[in-house]
Chains A and B, each alone.
Chain A
Amino acid sequence: MSDTIIEVKNLTFQYEEDQTSPTLDQVTFHVKHGEWLSIIGHNGSGKSTTVRLIDGLLEAQSGQIVIDGQELTEANVWELRSKIGMVFQNPDNQFVGATVEDDVAFGLENQGIPLEEMQSRVQQALELVKMSAFKDREPARLSGGQKQRVAIAGAVAMRPAIIILDEATSMLDPEGRLELIQTIKDIRQRYGMTVISITHDLEEVALSDRVLVMKNGQVESDTSPQALFSRGEELLNLGLDRPFTSVLIQTLKEKGFAIDESYLTEKDLEEKLWASISKR
């Protein structure tokens, strides 16, 4: 068995027939088993469309998607979809159940899983996202971050091989965002899931194994977070902020301090600064 879980080949898609340029144009990439892939890019670069095509929510004009060795077709879309858990952007619009518990159970109900198994899985998923104490709450009484954690619990309860986060942290405050990223990290460690995350958030990108940059419906590049962060000013054009350390390094360079690298983690930069000070 190959180590590739998702293979996307020459995917082309457009929403309306008279569009001047296609939303996706010959997109090709792959995702490895257990990998954390970030997809970044400007609004309208086709990130969300790509993951919706992978989940079979949209149908491509041409191209091929292979998930876990099977090509995605109309016949097996439900089967393949059950291998993928999706978490969307707006926590309010994806909350189906009347309470936290009911929402987590919704996906399990759809698969016709027996009651006892459902109860244990719901319990487990809620513990994982630390929402057990809230299981009787209605969505109106939860914060955005809590709702998003419930959405993740709902996806995790289905035990998917792949979890896709479609800008899942974009509507949260910094605290909620950090908590959510930590939760995803834990889940990934525990179940060895493959994570695909569409994001504009630096922390999320920094945690991922690989970054796919999309631009105008095409894959612009496919790099490691470190290589991406060293692109400096360019990052702003890709819909990302610049990491704090890059800005600091550049400021130091302008002030005449010699630092060769254009990107370091905070820890590495700290070491470097200590080293250079103690040399004097």
Chain B
Amino acid sequence: MNNLILGRYIPGDSLLHRLDPRSKLLAMFIYIIIIFWANNLATNLLMTVFTLSLVFLSGIKITHFLKGLRPMVVLILFTTLFQVFFTQGGQVLFQFWIIKITSLGLSQAALIFMRFVLIIVFSTLLTLTTTPLSLADAVESLLRPLSRFKVPVHEIGLMLSLSLRFVPTLMDDTTRIMNAQRARGVDFGEGNLMQKVKSIIPILIPLFASSFKRADALATAMEARGYQGGDGRSKYRLLSWKFLDSLALLSLLFLGGLLLLFKN
């Protein structure tokens, strides 16, 4: 379970670490939108330089980003190859039997490859420089306007932060249950598909049962500490939007403008 990059946070004190999580989350959205505007060499170069300079700014080792990319390698290669072989158009560069590689196929593949890599690097950047807790705070804060439409924003935020807090606890539970079942002779990951699925049941049921128990105890403890819902609560953790945050978003919008200018 140690390879899990999701929600992994690396403490630091870089410019990116100090940004408000809300601005980082918004930046992620903007980034995903504008990356689709990059459709030629110049615009892709622009995006790459921008992303790499952010990576440099974060002061986090490149190896962490490569780790983030690793689980996606198969997917990226698969999609890229698909593009190479099935996009027809432009000059024919190579032909053998039914396989035909064209210039358009190659450029499409390169485009898809860049998009994947950049988006993954950028999102890794977000999770590596932001604690899961402050991301949950950011989601709650950004959803706040929706409370006018009767969306239970406080509850969503609380659920999110509780889930994040219980991820390691439940992971420990899972390992413990698996080891306990192994000690009693259950084989995990052996046999055919049906047997594999069946061997998951002795993990799943105790895990669910213990989660129910934990949820019940947690609810009692919360009630005992005076939790009555979102109304009338004060907040210990305040997010503060600084000049730097506006600057970060503006620079991203500026980048978007440049992309619009240079794209095909």
Contacts and interface: CB of A to CB of B under 8 A. Distances in A.
B169 A139 contact: yes
A221 B236 CA distance: 45
* From B132, B161, B234, B235, residue with most partner A Cβ within 10 Å: B234
A138 B165 contact: yes
Interface stretch (B49-57, B59-67, B212-220): B212-220
Contacts of B165: 95-98, 138-139
Interface stretch (A99-107, A180-188, A239-247, A261-269): A99-107
Interface residues of A, number: 40
A94 interface: yes
B221 A94 contact: yes
A119 B223 CA distance: 22
Contact of B234 (A84, A95, A114, A122): A114
A2 interface: no
Nearest to A139: B165
Contacts of B236: 101-102, 105-106, 108-109, 115, 118-119, 122
Interface in A172-216: none
Nearest to B236: A105
Contacts of B164: 98
B249 to A, nearest CB: 26
Contacts of A82: 226
A93 B169 CA distance: 9
Interface in A100-130: 101-102, 105-115, 118-119, 122
Nearest to B229: A110
Given A92-B169, A99-B133, A55 B224 contact: yes
B217 to A, nearest CB: 4
B217 A93 contact: yes
B153 to A, nearest CB: 16
Interface string A66-95: 000000000000100110101010101111
Given A88-B217, A112-B234, A140-B168, A96 B225 contact: yes
B226 A107 contact: yes
B148 interface: no
B234 A106 contact: no
A57 interface: yes
A154 interface: yes
Contacts of B226: 78, 81-82, 107, 110-111, 158
B184 interface: no
A102 B237 contact: yes
Nearest to A79: B226
A57 B220 contact: yes
A110 B234 CA distance: 7
Nearest to B221: A94
B46 to A, nearest CB: 37
A109 B137 CA distance: 15
A139 B220 CA distance: 19
Contacts, number: 94
Interface residues of B, number: 31
Given A95-B165, A101-B236, A110 B227 contact: yes
B191 interface: no
Interface in B224-243: 224-228, 232-238
Contacts of B221: 86, 88, 93-94, 96
A98 B136 CA distance: 10
A98 B161 contact: yes
B162 interface: yes
A121 to B, nearest CB: 10
A141 B242 CA distance: 31
Contacts of B32: none
A96 B238 contact: no
Nearest to A119: B236
Given A57-B223, A110-B227, A96 B162 contact: yes
B156 to A, nearest CB: 16
Contacts of B222: 96, 106
* From B132, B168, B224, B238, residue with most partner A Cβ within 10 Å: B224
A106 B168 contact: no
B201 to A, nearest CB: 25
Nearest to B164: A98
A94 B162 CA distance: 11
Given A99-B133, A111-B226, A94 B232 contact: no
12 contacts: A57-B220, A88-B220, A94-B221, A96-B225, A106-B236, A108-B234, A109-B233, A110-B226, A110-B233, A114-B234, A115-B238, A139-B169
Interface of A: 52, 55, 57, 78, 81-82, 84, 86, 88, 90, 92-99, 101-102, 105-115, 118-119, 122, 138-140, 154-155, 158
- In the A-B complex, the 3 residue pairs with the smallest Cβ-Cβ separation, listed nearest first, are A94-B221, A93-B217, A105-B236
